[in-house]
Structure 1
């Protein structure tokens, strides 16, 4: 028992109080040394240049919770067939609540005095020569109502039960009726909150006060922080011609970009604006492509002589999408240590590559193998070489005990 206790004590003592360190072999070889240093310099450049400087691996990141309010201003004037009309924001902005996504009407087709009844379809739609060509009670996807089963002798089209007279949208006004929308202005109020850092910012940054807003107009070089934008400038910076897009409509994205480094003063966290065409490509020249532009319909209902009527508008407009993109950074010890630790681990690549060169490529590879690796013989070989007469007799004794031979 005493001997067993001593063995256990010695084993615990060796485990607790001994330190093992790897054995190193210094190889004096210029080629291998140069390869090793080049690899280490490459790894060091990657860690410092890419991980720390470009990717900023020493900082933690956060994205913002954002909210956006918009407001249009401007008055338009039209004179169609002697009918003069003044258009303000209540007429040409949809929806009127000031959301981050809205439409500014730039062109329209009006169908006035519609009432529920029976009338023929437009020429070119539901053509017919006899009543049998118009299946009563059915309707077609491109039609305006339900067919009554009657073929109109004058238009040679099927009669439908619908809002009459049916809308004729074959001819889009050119030039656009609300071409004055080019001078309308858009006010954007955008706020972002970075919950990880507890910081809230607004695009009305320091120096953007009521006096400045009343006079400024956004320009990418002279007034990059002004939150007032001309609709014409928005379209042109997006790469479109205003008259072209105003005729049939389109969509434009306004990106409010927040890229903030909170290791610096919070005043340096300011928005940048960019503009992108979302529907249609300004470089396209194909006049026969399908579903060009952006349009929608709405109606204004009224009662006239006890009969319900409506005025139908097919509105063409520019859809504005205000999009917030955000990314904030700030120094954090945890990602810093993680980046350093991963970089130190990558340094081991140099050792692996140089070992492969030493052991498999150089002419003296056998010499380097003998220097790097220390070989030991098996226990039986060591026992027989040190006491040649003892080991065989011991083997014979064991075999005789178990087998009887």
Structure 2
């Protein structure tokens, strides 16, 4: 069976408007968390006033007319996909022949929440102004498959458009489904990833009521603290990450630059609780074991785990326990959410990209705000400064409400 290779990538995040600036900021130890801006903030006076908003607003990138026809989660998906498509060398001029048969090109981009901002805004217009005020584009803007559909229109993908929705595991699960499509030989190229842009009153209020958000309003940059004894919840973020995945034979034939391989995947479910992970980490461990198995490797080959670690009291320790169960004590860990916040449906794709770059470049970003490691985390977590380390393979973990577990394994 063919190997699956990564030939392009793109991102827009709280750390940067593209993949390169995001990676550089992560290595430099910068934070994307700050005080939340928006009209709704003062209106609702919620106890959480911090978030990880985009470093570059979509309005600065997309033409105004095009931006108005898309929900914000669709906007970030298109921005990241355009970068990935160009980075992979697949963008062509108007009169040039495409470098991939459109019927052999698919899109798998998911979102955890989707176009809720559009839904809320249009409902307000209906209530205050009546039917004539509601946009005819309301449904295309709020539907969960909107980001994937918009990207498919951008690149003329006719080999299938898929939209997984598995909460915080969505972006990673999208990459896993792309892997399966390519392994099955159904297509030659898949543009895959995740997107989320739903920092608004109802989502913040819901997470507050679930007691999952940090309330360090006086110190936003120090709020997201994966594995730290002082952690008190995650910071809601927004953004998107997209990878271009190809069958190795196809990539070689067209002379593409290969940045690494998506060598293995693992998808499992806990069937334990709608929001809480299994405290024993059994399902998470099985996902990591499956990723290793599908890659044809052993646990000793995996030198690094890019952790889901959201900065919640229970989740971080549970993941560490699962890693020890699946891989042993030797992998070196990091947790990008200390800097990025939690991008929900976009998290797995952006953090999958971080894991890929760690393997490619031989460097692991530090976990931000890790001042005192929780004694329940009995593993080596990179903190303070990035660590140079030659890696054969790295695992990226993403776990979501509903018991979704997704592990991806990247190699050189």
**Same fold at TM > 0.5:** no
Name which structure has the greater RCO, CA cutoff 8 Å, separation 6+.
2
TM-score range, shorter chain: under 0.3
Q: Structure 1 or 2: larger strand share?
A: 1
